[in-house]
Amino acid sequence: MLANATKPWATLTPEEHEFHYNPQRAFPDFATHRERRAPLNEAALTDARRIADLAYGEHPRRRLDIYPADRPGAPIHVFFHGGYWRANDKDGFGFVAAALVRRGFTAVIPSYELCPGSTLDGTVDSALAAIGWVARNGAPYGDPSSITLSGHSAGAHLCAAALATDWAARGLDPSFLRAATMISGVYDPAPAMLTTVNEALRLTPEISARLDYERAVPLSRARVHLFVGGREPWHWIDQTFRYSHQLRRHGGDPEVHVLPGHDHFDILDQYTAEHSPVLEAISRQR
């Protein structure tokens, strides 16, 4: 009983838990935002210079797109999309790349393994493999010694995985990872086990504990900005603050930003607004 009482969601009813930890339940109009951004995304896919579908592994979802900057040696930024580890792919986020290229970055947008075809272990491993591939092979497109990350929702969890990874053990100088900007993130998978989303995720307590970055020791000294929408349910917002506390306990100094008026899905408009707080944060971190 004591162990259960320590969980922030322990007193929620099943209906409340679904509302707080399933963003599609909290914001049932979620698809309208993707539809609204579709023309911008299509323009990025068709008009921007893009090197598409580069393989960073054998799995068919281990593919990434590179949008090169206009100048050689530009810093590289890798963006991980959301979708609660079970949905979406790189083709839906060309608009993010377009914004980053305008800011002078070479943008990399990976797809990664999704549940239920893979477990969350495979999802995280594929994201780390994408980052490693860019660090080893990014020189023709930008500066692989200066890589920054951002991610939305489940993509923020993948950024947190990168901060907790021993890159030296993977044969890379950890200093390549300069900064991470995480938006509306989920950092502990455990509450997802009590939502309907787990029908696809197939999380177990063991998988959840392995990939819980609210408790994993961060190994990277990368600078961190954490963003969350002010209209999101409180328990979702609290995940960002809990993760920020973990970073601080281990010597980090993350900046936390609650963006008034934004929900879990329209917060991605931060990548389409020219001087948005998210784009300003990313630009300062190069």
pLDDT in tens, the chain (286 residues): 234 458 999 999 999 999 999 999 999 999 999 999 999 999 999 988 999 999 999 999 999 999 999 999 999 999 999 999 999 999 999 999 999 999 999 999 999 999 999 999 999 999 999 999 999 999 999 999 999 999 999 999 999 999 999 999 999 999 999 999 999 999 999 999 999 999 999 999 999 999 999 999 999 999 999 999 999 999 999 999 999 999 999 999 999 999 999 999 999 999 999 899 999 999 998 7
Judge whether 157 lies within some domain: yes
**Token pair listed for 154:** 């489940």
Q: Residue 240: which CATH number?
A: 3.40.50.1820
> CA-to-CA distance for 39 and 3, rounded, in angstroms?
49
Q: What is the DSSP string of 12-70?
A: --HHHHHHHH-HHHH-TTHHHHHHHHHHHHHHHHHHS--EEEEESSSSTT-EEEEE--S
Q: Which of 238, 213, 196, 215 is nearest to 8 (CA)?
A: 238
Judge whether 223 lies within some domain: yes
For the beta sheet containing 51-55, the strands, ordered from the edge strand earlier in sequence to the opposite edge, are 51-55, 63-67, 106-110, 75-80, 143-152, 177-183, 223-229, 255-259
Q: What is the pLDDT of residue 1?
A: 29
Total domain count, the chain: 1
Judge whether 257 lies within some domain: yes
Judge whether 65 lies within some domain: yes
Q: What is the pLDDT of residue 136?
A: 98
The residues that bridge with 108 in the sheet, in sequence order, are 66, 78
> CA-to-CA distance for 156 and 159, rounded, in angstroms?
5
Judge whether 7 lies within some domain: no
Its domain, for residue 230, covers 12-284
Judge whether 48 lies within some domain: yes
Residue 189: cis peptide before it, omega within 30 degrees of 0? no
CB 178 within 8 A of CB 147: yes
Kindly report the backbone phi and psi dihedral angles of residue 137, in degrees, each rounded to the nearest multiple of 5, phi listed first. Answer: -125, 5
Judge whether 2 lies within some domain: no
Q: Which of 75, 233, 64 is nearest to 139 (CA)?
A: 75
Q: What is the pLDDT of residue 286?
A: 76
Judge whether 137 lies within some domain: yes
Q: What is the pLDDT of residue 5?
A: 52
